[in-house]
C-alpha cells in the first residue's frame, strides 16, 4: 500500500513539474516576444515591454498586477508569507533544474506570478464553494416550500422525521463539501 502511495505521489510531482516547466517556457516565450525587460528599483521589481501592441500592454499589466500582495492591498504579514512562498518555489525550481542559481529578475517575476496565481485559484475555489453552498440551501428551501402543504397534512412525528432527514442530508452535504475536497 505504501509503495502505491509513493508511486502516486511521484507521478503527482512529475505532473506538477511538467506543468510548471510548461508555464515557464510559455512565460519566457511571451517575455521575449514582447521584448520585455525587468529592473529592480528600490527593492521592488518592475517589468516593462517594448512592444507597442495591445497584447504587450495586457501582458505587462497582468504581470504587474500579479507581482505580489502589497500591490493588491495586502498587509505586511501577507507580504512576508508571500515572499516566503516565492522563495520556496524558487528553491524548488532550482532543484528541478528549471531556474539557474543566481535568479535573474525575470525568474523572480515568474516565481512571484506563480505564487499569486496559486493564491488566486485558492480564493476562487473558496468563492465557488460558498456559491455552491448557497445554491444548495436555496434548492432545499424551494423543495421545502414546494411540499409545505403536504407537511401540514402529516402528524407531528412524520413532520419531525421528514425535516430531520432534510436537515441531516443538507448538513452532511455541507460537511462533505467543506472538509473532504
Nearest CA to 34 out of 62, 53, 14 is that of 53
CB–CB of 137/170 below 8 Å? yes
In 3D, which of 165, 51, 17, 28 has the Cα closest to residue 104?
Answer: 28
Distance separating the N- and C-terminal Cα atoms of the chain? 22
* Residue 88 confidence (pLDDT): 92
Spatial CA neighbour of 98 closest among 16, 1, 6: 16
pLDDT tens for the 181 residues of the chain, in order:
444 445 667 888 889 899 999 999 999 998 899 898 988 887 788 888 887 889 888 888 888 877 765 555 566 777 788 888 989 999 999 998 888 888 898 998 899 888 888 888 888 988 988 898 888 888 888 877 877 788 778 888 888 888 888 888 888 888 887 777 6
Which triple of cell numbers denotes residue 16? 506538477
Question: Is residue 45 classed as helix, strand or coil in its secondary structure?
Answer: strand
Nearest to 20 by CA among 96, 79, 130: 96
Chain CA centroid to CA 51, Å: 30
Amino acid at each position: 500500500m505504501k509503495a502505491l502511495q509513493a508511486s502516486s505521489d511521484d507521478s503527482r510531482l512529475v505532473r506538477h513539474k511538467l506543468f510548471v516547466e510548461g508555464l515557464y517556457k510559455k512565460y519566457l516565450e511571451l517575455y521575449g516576444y514582447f521584448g520585455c525587460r525587468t529592473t529592480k528599483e528600490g527593492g521592488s521589481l518592475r517589468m516593462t515591454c517594448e512592444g507597442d501592441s495591445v497584447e504587450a500592454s495586457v501582458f505587462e499589466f497582468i504581470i504587474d498586477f500579479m507581482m505580489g500582495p502589497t500591490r493588491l492591498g495586502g498587509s505586511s504579514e501577507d507580504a512576508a508569507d508571500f515572499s516566503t512562498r516565492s522563495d520556496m518555489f524558487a528553491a524548488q525550481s532550482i532543484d528541478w533544474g528549471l531556474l539557474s542559481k543566481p535568479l535573474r529578475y525575470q525568474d523572480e517575476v515568474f516565481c512571484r506570478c506563480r505564487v499569486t496565481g496559486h493564491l488566486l485559484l485558492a480564493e476562487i475555489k473558496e468563492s465557488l464553494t460558498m456559491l455552491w453552498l448557497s445554491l444548495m440551501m436555496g434548492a432545499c428551501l424551494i423543495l421545502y416550500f414546494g411540499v409545505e402543504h403536504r407537511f401540514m397534512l402529516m402528524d407531528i412525528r412524520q413532520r419531525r422525521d421528514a425535516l430531520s432527514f432534510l436537515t441531516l442530508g443538507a448538513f452532511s452535504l455541507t460537511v462533505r463539501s467543506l472538509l473532504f475536497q
